[in-house]
Chain A
Amino acid sequence: MMPSKKLLVSAVRKEQILKLLAQGKRVDNRGLLDYRPLSIAPNVIEKAEGSALVKLGDTHVIAGVKIGVGTPFPDTPNEGILIVNAEILPTASEYQEPGPPDEDSIELARVVDRGIRESKMIDFTKLVIEPGKHVYIVYVDISVIGMDGNLFDASSYAAVVALLTTKYYPMVNENGTLVKGSEKVPLPVQDLGVSTTFAKVDSYVIVDPTWEEESMMEARLTIVYDKSGNICAVQKGGNGALLVDDVLNIIDLAKSKSEEMRKVLEGVISNA
């Protein structure tokens, strides 16, 4: 129910940030439409079926995939199940208290979930063991370890790389009981939704906002594009508004930016 925590940005610092934005620069020497350095390490957790550690500047996120078996939802007896959960750990900042996920964590999980689900990244119809009885449950658990803004993109990249590098033992039905198969298989992947996040600070549109920038922004917009160039998820965030023209502009910017980030993600996956 409560508004999320913002950093207190001093008036002097704000002035400096805005002065630089007017010159097309950011306080960390980036351009308005540049991402921070991004490193993605897949397979960092041996016990998980898939995992990835993403460092986007000082925002650090780890995602792990576990595969379970369960009964399908009654309305989708022929589909596997996706469960995305996110937690901003108390390690992430001094403002983060331990406890059940707060609304920021829940929004984060639901937006990452939407990107995966709506891009039809994984063919869930192939994750069925026995229709109506046994299907695979794909658990994606996201932990924000350190936070410096743009948790949405960092978490989304961690989740998709973890999913795309997942290998698990299939279950086979032997005489009425499910037993583990002998060889690991990858998930049935058919697309890749790429998330990009923009923020409006003063009159400037910037990509990949830091926490400081998020604390003084009007609003942000996260957009997920699939590989054919369709928009498959959008989420406006923040307690301010965006001009209609800003939204139209960001949609176009996001398309070219997502193509750039797609190459980065595909590079990581092909080397994994």
Chain B
Amino acid sequence: MENQLIINGKRTDGRGPTDLRPLKIDVGIIKNAAGSSYIEHGKNKIIVAIYGPKDSHRYAMNIEKATLRCRYHMSPFSTEERKNPQPSRREIEISKVIRDALEPSLILENFPKTMIDIFVEVLQSDGGSRSASITAASVALADAGIPMKDLVEAVAVGKVNGTLVVDLNDIEDKEGESDMPVAFMLNENKITLLQMDGKMTVEEFKAGLMMAMEAAKKIKEIQKEALAKKYSQGENKK
């Protein structure tokens, strides 16, 4: 019944347990947006655009700080079977947890009575699309010049054939024993997103959290390189 997903210590895509999938981030890909990014993480292909700070709708207005809004949306062609373009319950939940993962990093008090929109469009989905969305959105927010305490980076850990592995791909996500996406603000040693489903012992949970943290450090380097690349080319239009 159970598929062999790890053979001789190698995963289905040839990685070891702590290896990340290929990860590439481009910054500033949408001219109209205040900030934007494009991420390829494994087979995930995701665009993020930031609009604002802009005048808030009256119903969303907060006199103390900017209101952060987020939409995570999957394109109909992003999955094997066509995805209904209407937002699913899964997408609504993910929109919320992405917003909650990014908000602690931002200094929204600088922009009272405004709103900042984060639009995440998943063009192609693979395992870990919410993690990749957070990683990309944080870069896009930095590109938009929203003051922040730290970048946020996210990655999933999970148990596959009894082994803890980082950055689950689609098949590991679907057929593994557990899946735990985690987002970090590494400067402050803080966690801004934590979800888990499947089964793990307390020891596995704790070890998994540390593995995720190590992986997040690698992702943060890639985020910083992506930002440095744009802003060292004299393309800073803001």
Q: Identify the A interface with B (CB < 8 A).
A: 1-3, 103, 106-107, 109-110, 114, 117-118, 219, 221, 226, 229-245, 247-248, 251-252, 255
Contacts and interface: CB of A to CB of B under 8 A. Distances in A.
A236 B195 contact: yes
Nearest to A238: B100
Interface in B193-210: 193-202, 205-206, 209
A114 B194 contact: no
B90 interface: yes
A237 B100 contact: yes
Interface in B158-213: 180, 185, 188-202, 205-206, 209, 213
A110 B192 contact: no
B194 A103 contact: no
A241 B89 contact: no
A255 B71 CA distance: 34
B69 A1 contact: yes
Interface string B63-78: 0000111110000000
B96 A103 contact: yes
Contact of A251 (B60, B188, B197, B205): B205
Nearest to A247: B191
A232 B199 contact: yes
B130 interface: no
Given A3-B68, A240-B103, 17 more contacts: A1-B69, A103-B95, A110-B89, A219-B100, A219-B104, A230-B201, A231-B202, A232-B198, A234-B180, A240-B104, A241-B188, A243-B190, A244-B189, A245-B189, A247-B209, A248-B206, A251-B206
Contacts, number: 110
Interface of B: 60, 67-71, 89-90, 92-93, 95-97, 99-100, 103-104, 180, 185, 188-202, 205-206, 209, 213
B20 to A, nearest CB: 20
Given A106-B92, A233-B197, A251-B202, A2 B60 contact: yes
9 contacts: A1-B70, A103-B95, A107-B97, A219-B100, A226-B199, A232-B198, A240-B192, A242-B194, A243-B189
Nearest to A248: B206
Nearest to B106: A239
B196 A231 contact: yes
A209 B68 CA distance: 24
Lowest 10 CB-CB distances: which A-B pairs, in order?
A234-B196, A241-B190, A236-B194, A241-B104, A239-B103, A230-B199, A241-B192, A1-B69, A103-B96, A118-B197
